Amino acid sequence: MATYDVTGPGGTNRPSRRNPGVRVPYLIENTIDVSAINGDSGAAQNDVLRVLDLPAETLVMEAGIEVITALSSSVTMDLGITGGDVDIYADGDTNATGYSTLTATARHVAATADTLDVLVLSAASTAGKIRVWAVLCDVAGVDENDRQSDAQHDTAQ
């Protein structure tokens, strides 16, 4: 078994954020008045609320729910990807005010454009206001060409 050094340019120095190709994580958020959904009827049990758009080739580093105004009693919420892991970021978050407990699961990379969704569970809600937030980072390739030399490809360390 051989080891090949194909680490590429850059070395061990941290690049400036102003360098081309350096990606910076960013926060997106959306505040939703749950009581205004469905013609002011609120959200029914098992309703899916598409709350944040995720661009293609984006890493969702973390996401959560802040309950600003309590939802109707017995309501819980999941935060995740419908058709994927529906509770990857929040699992059974309660209707109490404050921040959701973050899960310890693996992070999601949206290979294609997608949405982050809240699943309303346990009961309907005719009250409440939530803020959903996510920290994202673009992971699309800046330069997807192999720039290593033949020597790097062919010389074992």
pLDDT tens-digit map of 23-65: 889 999 999 999 999 998 989 999 999 999 999 999 999 999 9
Could you tell me the residue ranges of all domains in the chain? 29-140
Report the distance separating Cα 89 and Cα 75, nearest Å. Answer: 17
pLDDT at position 18 over 80: no
Q: Tell me the average pLDDT across 142-151.
A: 67
- Please name the residue ranges forming H helices in the chain: 37-40, 150-154
* Cα-based angle 28, 34, 35 (whole degrees, multiple of 5): 150
Distance between terminal CA atoms of the chain? 11
**pLDDT tens digits, one per residue of 106-125:** 788 999 999 999 999 999 89
What pLDDT shows up at residue 35? 92
Q: Tell me the average pLDDT across 66-83.
A: 92
